[in-house]
Amino acid sequence: MSTHDGISNFMLERYAVGELTGAELAAVEAALAADPMLRERADAMRKARDQFLADEPYAAFRVLHEQRKATPTRKRFGFWLPTGLALAAAATLALLTALPDEGERIKGDGVGLTVALVSDTTPKPLASGAVVHAGDRLQLAYDAGPYAYIALIGIDGSGAMTVYYPEAGEVMALRPGDARAAFPFSLTLDATPGQETMTAVFAEQPLPLRRIQEAVRKNEVLPGVSTVKVVLEKEQ
């Protein structure tokens, strides 16, 4: 179906946006010099790109982009419960006491992650694979086992990755006090459909978050690190 023996569409596109260097760049330039049809494709690509920017200039894009950024329904990250720390602590306690030790608590190597759907009454634990909806509010709790440092990473249905915890800084957070606790926020799901994956990462050392993100993205196992993953199916 595809020979893959010449310059691919993707390679030509990378050339057009100026990403190629070294041997790749030389290979494409040599192919362009030798192949008039390839030159036509490259020219057509350049013209289409110019036309796109003429039709959809950045200034107009920027206006709409800002409007969408300000749309509350797209707000992803959750919030401390309204009256602050006291209520958040109460919610934590309610969650931990409401959840069973086993069952919905997804367990890893001596660690655990619990995801619960927050409602007006008792938080409802969700098993991995559960269906959730835009606007649902989730509370998450962890069991860090013997590990001192934690992070919570989310990947939404579009593949975008978000570090939910810690909320600031460049490295994993030192867990406060007990090995079992709730994360100090709730999450309100946005409208992006698809799988919402929550990965809790536990480590002996405060590893850089960038490294943790890379490992989560690649399903890589790092030494001295344990992870637990919960996958939710978000429907619109």
Partner 1 sequence: MNTTDERLDLRALYERYGHSVFRRCRYFLRTDDDARDALHEVFLKVTQSYGEFRGQASPLTWLTRIATHHCLNVLRGRKAGWHERYAAAVTVGAQHAEPGQAGVERAELVHRLLSRLGREEQEAAVYYFVDEMSQEEAARACDCSLPTLRKRLRRFIEVARKELKREDATLVFGEAPI
**Rounded to 5 degrees, what are φ and ψ at 147?**
-85, 145
Nearer to partner 1, 91 or 153 (CB): 153
Distance, CA of 37 to CA of 20 (rounded, Å): 20
Rule CB under 8 A: say whether 205 interacts with partner 1: no
**Rounded to 5 degrees, what are φ and ψ at 210?**
-60, -40
* Residue 230 and residue 115 in contact, taking contact as beta carbons nearer than 8 Å: yes
From the list 31-39, 78-86, 98-106, 189-197, the region that binds partner 1 by CB under 8 A is 189-197
Nearer to partner 1, 33 or 65 (CB): 65
| Bridge partners, residue 79, by sequence | 186
Rule CB under 8 A: say whether 17 interacts with partner 1: yes
* Residue 77 and residue 96 in contact, taking contact as beta carbons nearer than 8 Å: no
Rule CB under 8 A: say whether 171 interacts with partner 1: no
Nearer to partner 1, 117 or 161 (CB): 161
Q: Which of 96, 192, 222, 229 binds partner 1 (CB under 8 A)?
A: 192
Q: Which of 29, 40, 43, 56 binds partner 1 (CB under 8 A)?
A: 56
Return the amino acid letter for 56.
E
Rule CB under 8 A: say whether 72 interacts with partner 1: no
Rule CB under 8 A: say whether 10 interacts with partner 1: yes
Tell the burial category of 169 from Cβ atoms under 10 Å away from its Cβ (0-12, 13-18, 19+). exposed
Rule CB under 8 A: say whether 162 interacts with partner 1: yes
